[in-house]
């Protein structure tokens, strides 16, 4: 089928999806979970084909070992996927929630109510667990989905896609709500289909995300990179600073919320830097420092301008000594990626200034940047992390896959009565019941 035809079908299905109740969407998800359990063996066989092909690619040096690792499914991982699908079914329904309710006049009420966005397109890397996750979140939130996974996971993706499509359609979910494309050129075509696609969620490398952001007019939810900072203030508790800076860099350096740069106030640099340098040295972290850092840490490499703009995703950190919180904030707002930045301080006024003036999606006081995550924030499920300012920002939960509509319920009301010399006034009294009350039989 043509790409545009798939997108059209997704659009049509998305309109029909609005008819399903929360229970119907949940039953379909539970049926999918059961089917994944039932067909576990077959899924693992399909995954085995991907792994074998990837092993050949690895030998020829065309992919890296981590790619191969991420590709492999096991019985344990499959059980995790089944649990994940069931946990999405168990989440509260994100649709039909009243977020604003106002009596405009006697018998005339307006409600703002959450509803699906429409058609989501998700472009993701070669990991077999992404397809079941994003498909579950889409169905839960009443959205149609177009999937494009990494080619290396082709067989695994096809297996999950087939189970999702067949089981959900059997349970009455509108045919065509889930679509898949496999070729890279098809992505380029998708990027031009703003008539049929409402939102693109790219998950993967910085280059992939940047390519998508620069080649579509469809809104993109995501982040290209995480250049996260920890600022050790002059009023920092040095014990906490050492703990946090170690965790933020070393605990899992390959992820977007790991720290890439430390900014250290000159008044505490002499005490703090030798201590963190010793821990970093033992953990194998390379330090790239500004001249003042290198006066304290003799074996630090010289940091260049480029270092302040670099997301290492590795055991490397850049360190700069600053003379004020203003300099730290300015550095972050200049070189950061608006992802996650932290201050270590016992001074509440400086903490307040930092969280207000740093223009990032997550700002932290005395905590590791690594906490920036939808699950840890208690959102229930994470759709992705957005560094854009429009729609959803920071770790995005199910709510990010919804929008709202206004529902007005009257009794023959016309605007003419509220205009002119004999105009009736509006009451504008907040009400606190659910919108469904207004349409109760």
Minimum Å gap between C-beta 247 and its own copies is 4
**What's the sign of the alpha-carbon dihedral 85, 89, 92, 96?**
positive
The DSSP 8-state label assigned to residue 220 in this structure reads B
Residue 230: helix, strand or coil by DSSP?
strand
- Residue 280 near residue 317, CB atoms below 8 Å: yes
φ, ψ of residue 232 to 5 degrees: the values are -95, 105
Sketch the per residue contact string, 249 through 268, with its own copies: x for CB under 8 A, - otherwise: --xx----------------
Q: CB under 8 A: which stretch of 43-51, 148-156, 172-180, 242-250 binds its own copies? A: 242-250
User: Which of 92, 282, 426, 437 touches its own copies by CB under 8 A?
Assistant: 426
**What's the sign of the alpha-carbon dihedral 286, 292, 296, 298?**
positive
User: Which of 175, 254, 408, 423 touches its own copies by CB under 8 A?
Assistant: 408
Minimum Å gap between C-beta 301 and its own copies is 26
Per the listing, tokens 């929008």 go with: 403
Residue 10's Cβ-side half-sphere holds a number of Cα atoms within 13 Å equal to 31
Minimum Å gap between C-beta 348 and its own copies is 4
Site for its own copies in 321-350 (CB under 8 A): 333, 342, 348-349
User: Which of 188, 282, 389, 433 touches its own copies by CB under 8 A?
Assistant: 389
Identity of the residue, 19 or 281, whose beta carbon is nearer to its own copies in the bound complex? 19
Q: CB under 8 A: which stretch of 31-39, 235-243, 285-293, 307-315 binds its own copies? A: 235-243
Identity of the residue, 48 or 413, whose beta carbon is nearer to its own copies in the bound complex? 413
User: Which of 86, 158, 267, 413 touches its own copies by CB under 8 A?
Assistant: 413
Return d(Cα 132, Cα 183) in angstroms, integer.
19
Minimum Å gap between C-beta 239 and its own copies is 7
Return d(Cα 367, Cα 230) in angstroms, integer.
9
Minimum Å gap between C-beta 277 and its own copies is 18
User: Which of 38, 83, 428, 433 touches its own copies by CB under 8 A?
Assistant: 428
Binding of its own copies at residue 395 (CB under 8 A)?
Answer: yes
User: Which of 76, 185, 305, 416 touches its own copies by CB under 8 A?
Assistant: 416
Tokens of 153: 């996971």
User: Which of 118, 128, 150, 176 touches its own copies by CB under 8 A?
Assistant: 118
Looking at the chain, how many residues does it have?
Answer: 441
- Residue 404 near residue 391, CB atoms below 8 Å: no
Tokens of 48: 């085995």
Binding of its own copies at residue 298 (CB under 8 A)?
Answer: no
User: Which of 376, 424, 433, 437 touches its own copies by CB under 8 A?
Assistant: 376
Minimum Å gap between C-beta 72 and its own copies is 21
Binding of its own copies at residue 51 (CB under 8 A)?
Answer: no
Task: Provide the Cα torsion 378, 380, 383, 385; round to 10°.
Answer: 0
Per the listing, tokens 């920002």 go with: 393
Residue 34's Cβ-side half-sphere holds a number of Cα atoms within 13 Å equal to 10
Binding of its own copies at residue 382 (CB under 8 A)?
Answer: no
- Residue 335 near residue 261, CB atoms below 8 Å: yes
Site for its own copies in 199-228 (CB under 8 A): 199, 213-214, 216-217, 219
The DSSP 8-state label assigned to residue 399 in this structure reads G
Give the CA angle between residues 249, 254, 256 to the nearest 5°: 80
Return d(Cα 258, Cα 228) in angstroms, integer.
6
Binding of its own copies at residue 363 (CB under 8 A)?
Answer: yes
Site for its own copies in 141-200 (CB under 8 A): 198-199
Return d(Cα 8, Cα 407) in angstroms, integer.
27
User: Which of 68, 171, 301, 409 touches its own copies by CB under 8 A?
Assistant: 409
Minimum Å gap between C-beta 314 and its own copies is 18
Binding of its own copies at residue 390 (CB under 8 A)?
Answer: yes
Minimum Å gap between C-beta 159 and its own copies is 30
User: Which of 5, 15, 274, 304 touches its own copies by CB under 8 A?
Assistant: 15
**Total residues at interface with its own copies (CB under 8 A):** 83
Using DSSP bridges, classify how beta strands 228-232 and 199-202 pair: parallel, antiparallel or unpaired.
unpaired
H helix or E strand, kind and range, residue 281: helix 266-283
User: Which of 30, 313, 315, 407 touches its own copies by CB under 8 A?
Assistant: 407
Minimum Å gap between C-beta 196 and its own copies is 13
- Residue 385 near residue 397, CB atoms below 8 Å: no
| Count of other CB atoms within 10 angstroms of residue 293 | 22
Binding of its own copies at residue 421 (CB under 8 A)?
Answer: no
């Amino acid at each position: 089928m043509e790409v545009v035809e798939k997108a059209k079908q997704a659009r049509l299905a998305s309109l029909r999806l609005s008819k399903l109740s929360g229970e119907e969407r949940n039953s379909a998800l539970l049926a999918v979970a059961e089917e994944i359990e039932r067909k576990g063996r077959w899924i693992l066989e399909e995954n085995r084909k991907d792994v074998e092909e990837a092993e050949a690619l690895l030998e020829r040096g065309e992919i890296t070992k981590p790619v191969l690792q991420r590709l492999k499914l096991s019985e344990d991982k499959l059980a995790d996927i089944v649990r994940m699908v069931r946990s999405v079914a168990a989440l509260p329904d994100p649709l039909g929630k009243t977020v604003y309710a106002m009596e405009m006049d006697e018998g005339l009420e307006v409600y703002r109510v959450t509803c699906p966005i429409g058609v989501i397109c998700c472009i993701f890397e070669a990991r077999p667990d992404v397809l079941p996750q994003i498909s579950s979140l889409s169905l839960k939130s009443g959205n149609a989905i177009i999937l494009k996974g990494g080619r290396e996971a082709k067989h695994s993706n096809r297996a999950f896609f087939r189970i999702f499509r067949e089981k959900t359609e059997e349970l009455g979910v509108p045919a065509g709500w889930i679509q898949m494309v496999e070729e890279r050129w098809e992505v380029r075509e998708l990027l031009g289909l703003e008539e049929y696609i409402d939102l693109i969620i790219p998950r993967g490398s910085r280059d992939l995300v940047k390519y998508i952001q620069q080649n579509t007019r469809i809104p993109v939810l995501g982040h290209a990179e995480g250049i996260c900072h920890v600022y050790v203030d002059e009023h920092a508790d040095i014990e906490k600073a050492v703990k946090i800076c170690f965790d933020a860099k070393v605990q899992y350096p390959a992820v977007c919320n790991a720290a890439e740069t430390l900014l250290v106030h000159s008044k505490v640099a002499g005490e703090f830097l030798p201590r963190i340098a010793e821990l970093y040295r033992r953990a194998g972290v390379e330090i790239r420092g500004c001249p003042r850092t290198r006066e304290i840490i003799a074996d630090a490499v010289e940091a260049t301008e480029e270092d302040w703009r670099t997301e290492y995703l590795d055991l490397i950190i850049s360190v700069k000594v600053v003379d004020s919180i203003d300099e730290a904030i300015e550095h972050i707002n200049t070189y950061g990626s608006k992802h996650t930045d932290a201050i270590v301080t016992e001074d509440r006024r400086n903490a307040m200034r930092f969280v207000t003036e740093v223009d990032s999606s997550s700002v932290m006081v005395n905590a590791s940047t690594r906490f920036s995550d939808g699950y840890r924030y208690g959102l229930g499920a994470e759709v992705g992390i957005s560094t854009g300012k429009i729609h959803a920002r920071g770790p995005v939960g199910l709510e990010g896959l919804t929008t709202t509509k206004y529902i007005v319920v009257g009794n023959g009301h016309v605007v003419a009565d509220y205009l002119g010399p004999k105009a009736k006034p509006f009451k504008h009294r907040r009400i606190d019941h659910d919108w469904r009350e207004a349409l109760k039989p």
